[in-house]
């Protein structure tokens, strides 16, 4: 009887632990909440595409750049928070969301040049750039090649070589859910709604080969950089982010607790606090 009781106790504890893990916020992809109504929005003629953008609030400008396959609406929590005291700019990267794409292959240098051109179009001299995943990579690219456009960069879940990405990222349950949600939104927003599979293949080709920056490249960065990563990130390796923080002069590393690649949705309050701390130099 004692043995049976021990087995039942162990099984009960197992169920409790398994249930708690299943309910952890880092294991789920929350729905994208609705965006506030923008102050202005439109389609900017940028390089060889038309790029969707929207502006909110007033004050020192913050540019939020979304990750691969996604769109600007991922930033709804942050727009609501920071539009209270800043000019917030969001946009859909080329081929993403409402923006068009051309025949040029996707590449981080090209997408960075789109955002530089967008800032010129909007007549904005400098921004704090908050980038998530591919958006963070674009932020680092801009810090290397167009530092005059930046007050600072806050890059979450970015990588600077392909070795920084986990091999099983695309097979992760939460990441696979994101790919599906991104596809649903693409079909709803894109001017080419039937081409998500082709778009996904093009982005995946970029991911397979880019970025490929060296320690010497990172050492040239002169703008303040904060690097953030969730402690349960599904896609980017923690030791890779630590290496980036070591190689970028003066960079600060922030570990987002109980959060994954999708921290801005899973813990909006903590994410916003991380941004405010970075902007305050803390």
- CA gap 148, 95 in Å, rounded: 26
Quote the crossing angle between the two packed helices 134-145 and 108-121, to the nearest 10°: 70
What DSSP string describes 29-75?
-PPPPPPPPPSEEEEEEETTEEEEEEEES-SSEEEEE--TT--GGGG
Q: Residue 23's pLDDT is what?
A: 74
DSSP SS3 for 168: coil
CA-CA distance, 272 to 255, in Å (whole number)?
Answer: 14
- The pTM for the full model equals 0.92
Token pair 């980017």 is at which residue?
Answer: 236
Task: Please check whether residue 67 is in contact with residue 132, taking contact to mean a CB–CB distance below 8 angstroms.
Answer: yes
Superfamily of domain 38-279: Alpha/Beta hydrolase fold, catalytic domain (3.40.50.1820)
Burial 69-82 (b: 16+ CB within 10 A, else e): bbbbbbbbbbbbbb
- Residue extents of the structural domains in the chain: 38-279
Task: Give SS3 for 107.
Answer: coil
What is the model's pLDDT at position 282? Answer: 82
pLDDT tens-digit profile, the chain (282 residues):
445 444 433 433 333 333 334 579 999 999 998 999 999 999 999 999 999 999 999 999 999 999 999 999 999 999 999 999 999 999 999 999 999 999 999 999 999 999 999 999 999 999 999 999 999 999 999 999 999 999 999 999 999 999 999 999 999 999 999 999 999 999 999 999 999 999 999 999 999 999 999 999 999 999 999 999 999 999 999 999 999 999 999 999 999 999 999 999 999 999 999 999 999 988
Q: How far apart are CA 94 and CA 110, in angstroms?
A: 9
């Amino acid at each position: 009887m004692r043995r049976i009781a021990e087995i039942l106790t162990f099984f009960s504890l197992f169920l409790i632990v398994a249930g708690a893990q299943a309910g952890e916020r880092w294991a789920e992809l929350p729905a994208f909440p609705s965006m506030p109504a923008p102050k202005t929005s439109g389609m900017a003629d940028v390089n060889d595409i038309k790029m969707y953008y929207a502006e909110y609030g007033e004050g020192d400008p913050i540019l939020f750049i979304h990750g691969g396959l996604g769109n600007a609406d991922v930033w709804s929590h942050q727009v609501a928070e920071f539009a209270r005291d800043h000019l917030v700019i969001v946009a859909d990267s080329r081929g993403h969301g409402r923006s068009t794409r051309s025949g040029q292959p996707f590449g981080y240098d090209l997408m960075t040049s789109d955002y530089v051109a967008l800032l010129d179009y909007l007549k904005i001299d400098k921004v704090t750039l908050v980038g998530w995943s591919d958006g963070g990579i674009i932020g680092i690219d801009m810090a290397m090649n167009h530092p005059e456009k930046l007050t600072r960069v806050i890059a979450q879940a970015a990588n600077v070589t392909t070795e920084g990405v986990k091999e099983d990222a695309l097979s992760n349950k939460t990441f696979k859910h994101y790919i599906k949600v991104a596809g649903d939104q693409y079909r709803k927003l894109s001017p080419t709604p039937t081409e998500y599979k082709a778009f996904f293949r093009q982005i995946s080709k970029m991911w397979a080969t880019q970025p490929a920056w060296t320690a010497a490249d990172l050492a040239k960065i002169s703008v303040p950089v904060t690097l953030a990563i969730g402690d349960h990130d599904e896609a980017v390796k923690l030791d890779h982010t630590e290496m980036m923080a070591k190689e970028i002069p003066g960079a600060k590393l922030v570990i987002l607790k109980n959060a994954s690649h999708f921290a801005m949705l899973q813990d909006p309050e903590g994410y916003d606090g991380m941004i405010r701390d970075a902007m305050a130099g803390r």
